[in-house]
């Protein structure tokens, strides 16, 4: 049986362009029943674009707020979706929750999963129908109807608008996003690749969720979810369901494998057991199930930045001006873009020192250089305050001549003032590594 398609572009190449070219967008696919390899994912396997339908339904919720959906599901053809709803665009980073996983192995037991570097991320112009518009058209009451534009800076309905019944009603609900892709065990419905997001996320005007059929103004390709995929800005890639065939409003979150048993942060209790001990215990199915049951599925991604150049162990030859070019990307949080990046340089303490140790013992008088922002969202976040795109940055770092091997450290903060955490907690699956970015053992040959 062939493996699903999983690819990561070269980190150094990734930040050459603000908008990630389609051929540099990573591929992440879970195993599925049919077809085994995503190279074989032609639309004919799960239905052609011509016969594709999106079913919208609501169940188990107060039907006063679901309009026409209360009686029967609404079925939209792809063609209807494209004709009846304006083509909307959002520039948003798609980031796998496992981005930067391999970096954790430097200071911890190796997390389970594909050992991704820092390039399972892409900044793309997504195009499609607004998810909010589709739900409103289906008769779903607007939880944000009583919001002033000022109040929309909060991602949840305000207290004030909670006095409106629709906002109160929507607060506890979920929108399920179901794929036509069957998971490995293909009998139960819950084994379908699926996710759910809070209904208020799906319906927030500034969250810009899309039912996408284009990327970078080209038709979406089958490997990236054609004919239709969910775009859920600010949320882990696992919720951006590909080959999307149904939406369901429900009073409970999705129980699908990517929600129930996959994308969760499994961490040992501090002081009670070591990471290695925990990783060993988690090989036992019952223990793992108990641990999983205690955790909520991962949804939002937090602020983070990563150095894409130079690479670890790089030898910088052209040092005529005594400066090293450092560049990378930075992502914001909850719709507030990363607007500040700082970079510092220290003598590398050598291979015996773990990166977490290096970060914990940084000198107090470390000199941080403010990086220049190369590109940020053209949608002018200063107007709306909102952006789901990454920021590219660079800086020319002065390299002290007495240092032969050094480490470069980068950190960021968002327009809203959220700081990237210095060290993210280790977790069994290595999800959501948001630690300051560190490139180790960079050397300058001294002549
Ligand atoms: N149906 C389906 N949707 C899916 C997945 C999948 O395996 N099957 N993988 C998810 C994960 S974990 C990520 S990170 C993104 C990757 O999207 P891409 O392959 O277009 O980069 O799709 C998400 N949607
Ligand atoms: Mo992912």
Question: According to the model, what pLDDT value does residue 129 have?
Answer: 98
Question: According to the model, what pLDDT value does residue 49 have?
Answer: 83
Is the predicted pLDDT of residue 5 greater than 80, yes or no? yes
Substitution candidate for ligand 1 out of 5, 28, 33 with most atoms within 8 A of CB: 28
Cβ contacts of 258 within 8 Å, gap of 6 or more: 30, 193, 194, 195, 238, 297
C-alpha to C-alpha distance for 274 and 32, rounded to whole angstroms: 34
Atom 9 of ligand 1, nearest CA residue:
29
Domains of the chain, CATH where assigned: 6-261 (3.90.420.10), 304-443 (2.60.40.650)
Is the predicted pLDDT of residue 191 greater than 70, yes or no? no
- Percent of the chain at pLDDT exceeding 90: 70
Residue 25 CA, closest ligand 1 atom number: 21
Q: What is the CA(6)–ligand 2 centre distance, in A?
A: 10
Question: According to the model, what pLDDT value does residue 239 have?
Answer: 98
Asked if residue 46 has its Cβ within 6 Å of ligand 1, the reply is no
Asked if residue 25 has its Cβ within 6 Å of ligand 1, the reply is yes
Question: According to the model, what pLDDT value does residue 171 have?
Answer: 86
Give yes or no for a contact between 366 and 346, defined as CB atoms under 8 angstroms apart. Answer: yes
Question: According to the model, what pLDDT value does residue 447 have?
Answer: 57
Region 397-422 average pLDDT = 93
**pLDDT digit string, tens, across residues 323-367:** 899 999 999 999 999 999 999 999 999 989 999 999 999 999 999
Question: According to the model, what pLDDT value does residue 159 have?
Answer: 58
Is the predicted pLDDT of residue 2 greater than 70, yes or no? no
State the pairing for strand pair 244-250/53-59.
Answer: parallel
Question: According to the model, what pLDDT value does residue 152 have?
Answer: 59
Q: Please, which pLDDT band fits residue 36 given cuts at 50, 70 and 90?
A: very low
Asked if residue 27 has its Cβ within 6 Å of ligand 1, the reply is yes
Q: What is the CA(65)–ligand 1 centre distance, in A?
A: 31
Question: According to the model, what pLDDT value does residue 149 have?
Answer: 63
Pick the residue with more confidence: 343 or 142? 343
C-alpha to C-alpha distance for 56 and 138, rounded to whole angstroms: 8
Asked if residue 101 has its Cβ within 6 Å of ligand 1, the reply is no
Residue 174 phi, psi dihedral angles, 5° rounding? -130, 150
C-alpha to C-alpha distance for 415 and 336, rounded to whole angstroms: 6
Atom 12 of ligand 1, nearest CA residue:
238
Query: Which ligand ends up closest to the CA of 178?
Result: 1
Question: According to the model, what pLDDT value does residue 192 have?
Answer: 74
**pLDDT digit string, tens, across residues 207-258:** 999 999 999 999 999 889 999 999 999 999 999 999 999 999 999 999 999 9
**pLDDT digit string, tens, across residues 362-392:** 999 999 999 999 887 665 555 667 899 999 9
Is the predicted pLDDT of residue 181 greater than 90, yes or no? no
Q: What is the CA(237)–ligand 2 centre distance, in A?
A: 5
Query: Which ligand ends up closest to the CA of 224?
Result: 1
C-alpha to C-alpha distance for 71 and 255, rounded to whole angstroms: 24
C-alpha to C-alpha distance for 136 and 60, rounded to whole angstroms: 19
Question: According to the model, what pLDDT value does residue 1 have?
Answer: 46
C-alpha to C-alpha distance for 415 and 390, rounded to whole angstroms: 12
**pLDDT digit string, tens, across residues 79-104:** 999 999 999 999 999 999 999 999 99
Q: Which residues pair with 161 in a beta bridge?
A: none
Atom 21 of ligand 1, nearest CA residue:
27
Calculate the average pLDDT of the chain: 89
- Percent of the chain at pLDDT exceeding 70: 87
User: What is the per-residue DSSP string for 166-201?
Assistant: HHHHHHT-EEEEEEEEEBSS-SSGGGEEEEEEEHHH
Question: According to the model, what pLDDT value does residue 93 have?
Answer: 98
Question: According to the model, what pLDDT value does residue 186 have?
Answer: 46
Substitution candidate for ligand 1 out of 31, 225, 227, 254 with most atoms within 8 A of CB: 225
Nearest to 412, CA basis, from 311, 305, 324, 326: 305
Residue 258 CA, closest ligand 1 atom number: 12
């Amino acid at each position: 049986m062939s493996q699903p398609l999983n690819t990561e572009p070269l980190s150094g190449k990734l930040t050459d362009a603000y908008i990630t070219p389609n051929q540099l967008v990573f591929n992440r696919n879970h195993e599925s029943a049919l077809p085994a390899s995503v190279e074989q994912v032609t639309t004919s396997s799960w239905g052609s674009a011509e016969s594709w339908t999106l079913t919208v339904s609501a169940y188990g919720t107060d039907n006063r707020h679901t309009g026409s959906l209360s009686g029967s599901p609404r079925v939209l053809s792809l063609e209807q979706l494209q004709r009846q709803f304006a083509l909307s665009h959002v520039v948003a980073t798609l980031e796998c929750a496992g981005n930067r996983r391999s970096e954790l192995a430097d200071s911890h037991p190796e997390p389970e999963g594909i050992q991704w570097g820092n390039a399972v991320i892409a900044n793309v112009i997504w195009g499609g129908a607004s998810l909010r518009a589709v739900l409103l058209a289906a008769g779903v009451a607007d939880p944000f109807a009583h919001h002033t534009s000022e109040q929309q800076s909060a991602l949840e309905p305000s207290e004030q608008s909670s006095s409106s019944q629709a906002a109160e009603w929507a607060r506890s609900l979920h929108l399920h996003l179901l794929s036509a892709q069957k998971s490995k065990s293909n009998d139960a419905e819950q084994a379908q690749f699926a996710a759910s997001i809070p209904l208020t996320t799906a319906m927030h005007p500034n969250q810009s969720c899309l039912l996408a059929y284009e990327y970078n103004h080209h038709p979406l390709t089958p490997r990236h979810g054609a004919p239709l995929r969910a775009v859920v800005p600010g949320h882990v890639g696992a919720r951006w369901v590909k080959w999307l065939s149904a939406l369901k409003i429900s009073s409970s979150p999705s129980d699908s494998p990517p929600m129930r048993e996959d994308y969760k942060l499994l961490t040992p209790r501090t002081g009670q057991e070591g990471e290695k001990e925990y990783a060993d215990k988690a090989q036992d199915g019952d223990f793992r199930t108990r641990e999983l049951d205690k955790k909520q599925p991962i949804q939002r991604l937090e602020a983070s930045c990563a150095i894409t150049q130079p690479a670890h162990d790089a030898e910088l030859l052209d040092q005529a001006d005594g400066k090293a070019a450092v560049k990378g990307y930075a992502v914001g949080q909850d719709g507030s873009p990363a607007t500040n990046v700082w970079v510092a340089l220290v003598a590398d303490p050598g291979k015996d020192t773990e990166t977490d140790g290096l970060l914990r013992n940084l000198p107090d008088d470390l000199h941080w250089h403010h990086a220049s922002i190369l590109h940020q969202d053209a949608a002018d976040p200063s107007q709306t305050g909102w952006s789901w795109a990454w920021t590219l940055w660079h800086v020319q770092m002065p390299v002290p001549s007495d240092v032969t091997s050094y480490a470069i450290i980068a950190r960021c903060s968002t327009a809203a003032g959220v700081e990237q955490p210095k060290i993210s907690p280790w977790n069994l699956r290595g999800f959501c590594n948001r630690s300051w970015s560190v490139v180790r053992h960079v050397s300058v040959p001294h002549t």
